Amino acid sequence: MAYLFTSESVSEGHPDKIADQISDALIDNFLAFDAESKVACETLVTTGQVILAGEVKSNTYLDVQNIAREVIRKIGYTKSEYMFEANSCGILSAIHEQSADINQGVDRASKEEQGAGDQGMMFGYATNETENYMPLALDLSHALLRELATLRRENSEITYLRPDAKSQVTLEYSDDNKPQRIDAIVISTQHDDFDEEAAMLAKIKSDLVSILIPRVKAKYPQYAHLFNDNITYHINPTGKFVIGGPHGDTGLTGRKIIVDTYGGKGAHGGGAFSGKDPSKVDRSAAYATRHIAKNLVAAGVADEILVQVSYAIGVAKPTSINVVTYGTSKVNLTDGEISKKVEAIFDMRPYFIEQRLKLRNPIYSETAAYGHMGRTPETVTKTFQLPNGEPKVVTVELFTWEKLDFVDQVKATFGI
C-alpha cells in the first residue's frame, strides 16, 4: 500500500537559523586567523537582543559584535519594524576560555592521535532517489525556501516578504519505496502588514502557488513531474504572520538538527553542528559518515545506506563503525562485512577526518542554512577582517564531504 513521508525546512531568517549562522560566522573567523582554534560557540536571539556564549582556545581576537551584526544584515533584518535589526540590536558576549580538562583530551603530542572532542554517535545517510543522494522530501523543502529567499531579495514579483519562513513537503511513495507525487505543501512566510486580512491571505496563497511553485519547477526540472493538480496547499495556515523572526520566537543554536541533516530519514545521533570546530566529532564525524554513505551509494554498493560511528571523549579510534543497507545491497556481503571493508577504506580518527575533508578552514558559514548535506562542492575566495581593519583573503573548498572522490576506491574494494 502507498504511504506518505514528510520533511520540513526553515529559512535563513528563522530565529534558530539566525543563531546557527552567527555561531558559524564566529567559527569561520577564528579559523581564518588561527586554524588550530578550538571553539564551541552558542547564540541566542530574541527581541532586539543577541547573546553569545561558549568556550574558545585561540591565538586570535575578534570583534564578535561586528561579525554578528554583519550576519544579521546579510540575512535581511535591516528594518526597525522587524523589532530585530542589525544596527540597533544589543549584543552581549559571554565567551570564555576553553576548559583545560576538555583540551587535554583532544590535543596530543602526535597530531595523528588527536582525541575525539566528545563521546557520542554520529550518522551519515545517502539514497539514490535524488541526483545529490539526499531524501527527496527534504530536498524539495529546501528548494522552496531557497527560491522564496531569492524572490524576497529581488523584491519585484513579490514585494511584501520578510525573512522568516518555514516549509514542509509530504510525498506519496509506492510499495517499492519510489516517490510518486507531492501530496501536500506547507509554507508559512513572514510578510508586511496588510490592511485587510482576507485579501492578504488570498494574495499570499495566489502568489506562492502561481509564482514560487513554477520557479521551483523550472529551476529543478528533475522534480517537475512530482507536482500535480491535486496537491493540498497550506499557505500561512494560522493566518497573519507579520510578527516573526527573533521578535516572534526566540532562536538558539543547534535546534534544527533534522533540517540540517536528512529530514527524518536515516538517523541522527543528537549532536548539533553549528558553532563547533572540527575537533568536535558531532560535526566532523557527521560529515565523514555522509561522505562515506554517499560514495558507497554512488559506487553501487546499495541503493540506500546509513553509516554510524561512535567515539569516547579523548580517544582517537572510534568505538564502532556500522553500515546498514536496508536490504538494498548490491554486493554479496552482509552489512557487518560491508562495515569492515568501510573501516579499512576510511580512517575515522578525528585528525584524519579533518585532513581528508579539509575541515580546518573557514568553510562553515555556508552550511548554516538550507542543510549541511546534499550541497554542491565548490572552491571560493573569502575575505575576513581583523578588528584593526587588516584583511585576510583565503581560498577554500566548500562541502568537501559531498565529493565523490572515493567511488573508484570503493568499487575496487568491493569488486564492482
Binding residue ranges for Mg(2+): 16
Nearest to 246 by CA among 163, 324, 368, 183: 163
The secondary structure of 71-112 as a DSSP string is HHHHHT---GGGT--TTTSEEEEEEEEPPHHHHHHH--SSGG
* Cell numbers linked to 74: 546579510
Q: Residue 292: which of 139, 130, 402 has the closest Cα?
A: 402
Contact 296, 404 (CB under 8 A): no
Alpha helix (H) residue ranges in 83-212: 100-106, 136-154, 197-207
Nearest-5° Cα angle at 73, 284 to 397? 30
Q: Look up residue 348 and give its amino acid.
A: M
Binding residues for K(+): 42
- Please return the burial class of 184, using the count of CB atoms within 10 Å of its CB with bins 0-12, 13-18 and 19+: middle
| Binding-site residue positions for L-methionine | 55, 98, 249, 280
Q: How far apart are CA 302 and CA 282, in angstroms?
A: 25
Angle between helices 64-75 and 15-33 (to 10 degrees): 130
User: Measured at the alpha carbon of residue 207, what is the angle toward residues 225 and 142, in degrees to the nearest 5?
Assistant: 55
3-state secondary structure 147-164: HHHHHHHHCCCCCCEEEE
C-alpha cell belonging to residue 266: 536515516
Annotated binding site: 14, 16, 42, 55, 98, 164-166, 240-241, 249, 255-256, 272, 276, 280
Q: Is residue 185 helix, strand or coil?
A: strand
Partners of residue 189 on adjacent β-strands: 165
Q: Calculate the alpha carbon distances from 264 to 2, 161, 238, 368 in Å.
A: 18, 28, 24, 18
Task: Please give the single-letter amino acid code of residue 82.
Answer: Y
Residue 71's identity, in one-letter code, is V
Binding-site residue positions for ATP: 14, 164-166, 240-241, 249, 255-256, 272, 276
Choose among 40, 132, 76: nearest CA to 244: 76
